[in-house]
Chain A
Amino acid sequence: MNQNEEKIKAIRLVAERIRKDSLWMSTRAGTGHLGPALSIADILATLYVGVMKIDPKNPKWPDRDRLILSKGHGCLALYSILSQVGFFDRKYLGDFCTKCDTLLPGHPELKLPGVEANTGSLGHGIAIGMGMALAAKMDGKQYRVFVVTGDGELQEGSNWEAAMAAAHHKLDNLVVIVDRNRLQLGDLTENISKLEPLEEKWKSFGWRVKSINGHDIKELLSTLNDVPFSIGKPSAIIAHTVKGKGLKIAENKVEWHYKVLTKEQYEDLKEELALEELQDE
């Protein structure tokens, strides 16, 4: 096995753990956005394990790469990956929406080590990321800023304001990854407000764009390590994904945007998916 294949294998394991953690946290809490967390598991695993320059022991390291989860409701996946790479102890995952004033609320907040912005209100992430990218250019720093947005989220006009401005300021250290799972809370994105041709939209706003399979670790790794696609231009990656990926009953099902397993369903699936015990010993 060559080095790259080993890495891909490692990332795959981390992604699997994200899925299991997400199921575990959300079932315990009886709440959470499961579908949108499962669709970005591979993207986050690849970024944190194979792409980003971070130091979990020093979460405020000035030269770190930043990740903003603009689709803050997908935070189950973020919490898992942050704990896996060591920003905080895994035992805290049990705090997800189970106690008041938890560090792991229903949308991510800065108080948790590793979280880079308060998100949860859609359409804010690209502008915040743009500010970070500007700061890097000013300070002559090499770090990059990755922003993961939902696809339905792109209906918010604030994204297009920010997209226009980032291109204007030639922020090639800014990367947007669109979780193109084709579903939003209510329906298919194309039934609610058509996003296609999505690539054309980004291009027309001055970005370089690539469309990839958001579950193919190899493709994710090579694409994410290939940014910027063009010097002087921000990069957009349209990652085609499956909402609820990995949980058969949830895949491509709109109702799983905001739905979790019952404890009974969890117990039934435990063996098949090699899930953890729900209760702490």
Chain B
Amino acid sequence: MSEIKKSTRTSFAEAIVEVGNEYKDVVTVAADSASRYGDFVKKFPERCFNVGIAEQTMIGVAAGLALCGKIPVVTSYANFLAFRAIEQVRVDIATAGLDVKMVGTDTGFSSAWLGFTHLALEDVAAVRSIPNIVIIDPADATEAYLATKAMFEYKGPVYMRLRGRKDEPVLFGKDYVFEIGKGNVLREGKDVLIISSGSAVYESLIAWEILRQKGISAAVVNMATIRPLDEALLLEITSSVQSVVTVEHHNVTGGLGSAVAELLAEKRPDVKLLRMGVKDTFGTAGSEEMLKAYFGLDGNAIAERIKSFLKNDYKSEVN
């Protein structure tokens, strides 16, 4: 891991300008959220629309633009996009499979201080309940940049989770490859498989290091695409690694953990699974670091939980 820090929102803003150069049909629709598009707004003012604080209209307008051959990008706080406007996302965009890119920001703990209304911990669950939508949760700025570009190479609705304005560690270098629907093995290991996405990946890597020092060999997979889930990769790894832990900065219900549980329950009932995430409770206010610790989802806490998970009879585990 390098010392460089950058926010996923910054690299999204950079990538979207390049995408704008490349694809003339890309337009942005904002709901009082235009700043997230960075220089795109300055560079292509005629391709930017702001509908005000009206997220439902933002989605509807994007659908109309898509129906006229545009490739709209919408963005807002994940909560207002995936909660306030969820029915519009479902009916206007998903039922028709429209080519609209939806970017929810400030997910996980990154809206920290704003309190629970802005803490998006159920957005993946909400979007995943709706058919047709690809869901991407990039681990760092590099991946956010690549994913932003990749979603325009894909035709159809995409929901991407970004975080706040705060800079965060850059995990991946120039050689990193992102492909929709493919998990990336970041660390090989044989004792336990850690699957995570988004900001939880960084913490999982810290946990990996702590575990390594204790002589535990963990594999770490970055599952940036939560749907479609990279089933082939998981089935391959779990044919030899029998203990699996999912880590997400999201509610344990409905998100990555559930997706993995659904797969393994049906295909690998011999595997033991521990789902780590926010345990079916609402968020609270605090800095991102504080909240990670508060919910037991920072590197230390993850390592501790995995140690006891491996030690104990997993049947008595209550995550």
Give A residues with C-beta under 8 Å from B.
62, 109-110, 116-121, 123-124, 126-136, 138-139, 145, 157-158, 161-162, 164-165, 168-169
Q: How far is the CB of B62 from chain A (nearest CB, A)?
A: 6
Pick from B64, B70, B96: contact of A133, CB under 8 Å:
B64
Give B residues with C-beta under 8 Å from A.
27, 29, 46-47, 49, 51-52, 54, 56-57, 59-70, 72, 87-88, 91-92, 95-96
Residues from chain A with Cβ under 8 Å of B68 in the complex: 62, 131-132, 135-136, 139
Among A116, A121, A164, A165, residue most surrounded by chain B Cβ atoms (within 10 Å): A165
Q: How far is the CA of A161 from the CA of B85 in the complex (A)?
A: 12
Pick from B56, B60, B96: contact of A110, CB under 8 Å:
B96
Among A117, A127, A136, A164, residue most surrounded by chain B Cβ atoms (within 10 Å): A127
Show 20 A/B contacts (Cβ-Cβ < 8 Å), sorted by A. A62-B69, A109-B95, A109-B96, A118-B92, A121-B91, A124-B92, A127-B60, A131-B62, A131-B63, A132-B65, A134-B49, A135-B64, A136-B68, A138-B46, A157-B56, A158-B56, A158-B60, A161-B56, A165-B51, A165-B52
Q: How far is the CA of A116 from the CA of B62 in the complex (A)?
A: 14
**A interface SS class:** helix
Residues from chain B with Cβ under 8 Å of A165 in the complex: 51-52, 54, 57, 61
**B interface SS class:** helix
Residues from chain A with Cβ under 8 Å of B64 in the complex: 117, 127-135, 145
Which 9 residue pairs are nearest across A and B when measured between Cβ atoms? A131-B64, A127-B60, A135-B68, A161-B54, A131-B61, A161-B57, A128-B64, A132-B64, A131-B65
Q: How far is the CB of A234 from chain B (nearest CB, A)?
A: 13
Q: How far is the CA of A270 from the CA of B252 in the complex (A)?
A: 60
Residues from chain B with Cβ under 8 Å of A110 in the complex: 96
Q: How far is the CB of A110 from chain B (nearest CB, A)?
A: 5
Residues from chain A with Cβ under 8 Å of B27 in the complex: 138
Residues from chain B with Cβ under 8 Å of A134 in the complex: 49, 61, 64-65
Residues from chain B with Cβ under 8 Å of A129 in the complex: 64
Q: How far is the CA of A230 from the CA of B281 in the complex (A)?
A: 53
Pick from B59, B67, B91, B96: contact of A132, CB under 8 Å:
B67
Residues from chain B with Cβ under 8 Å of A130 in the complex: 57, 60-61, 64
**B27 nearest CB neighbor, chain A only:** A138
Residues from chain A with Cβ under 8 Å of B95 in the complex: 109, 118
Q: How far is the CB of A175 from chain B (nearest CB, A)?
A: 14
**A128 nearest CB neighbor, chain B only:** B64
Given A118-B95, A121-B91, A131-B63: A164 and B54 interface contact (C-beta under 8 Å): yes
The answer on a CB contact under 8 Å between B60 and A131 is yes
**B68 nearest CB neighbor, chain A only:** A135
Pick from A116, A120, A164: contact of B67, CB under 8 Å:
A116
**B65 nearest CB neighbor, chain A only:** A131
The answer on a CB contact under 8 Å between A128 and B96 is no
Since A128-B64, A161-B51, A169-B49 are in contact, a sample of 18 more A-B pairs with Cβ atoms closer than 8 Å, ordered by chain A residue number, is A62-B69, A117-B92, A118-B91, A118-B96, A120-B91, A126-B60, A127-B56, A130-B64, A131-B63, A131-B66, A131-B67, A132-B65, A134-B49, A135-B64, A138-B47, A158-B88, A161-B56, A162-B60
Q: How far is the CA of A199 from the CA of B251 in the complex (A)?
A: 46
**B29 nearest CB neighbor, chain A only:** A131
The answer on a CB contact under 8 Å between B57 and A162 is yes
Residues from chain A with Cβ under 8 Å of B65 in the complex: 131-132, 134-135
**B85 nearest CB neighbor, chain A only:** A158
Residues from chain A with Cβ under 8 Å of B47 in the complex: 138
The answer on a CB contact under 8 Å between B52 and A128 is no
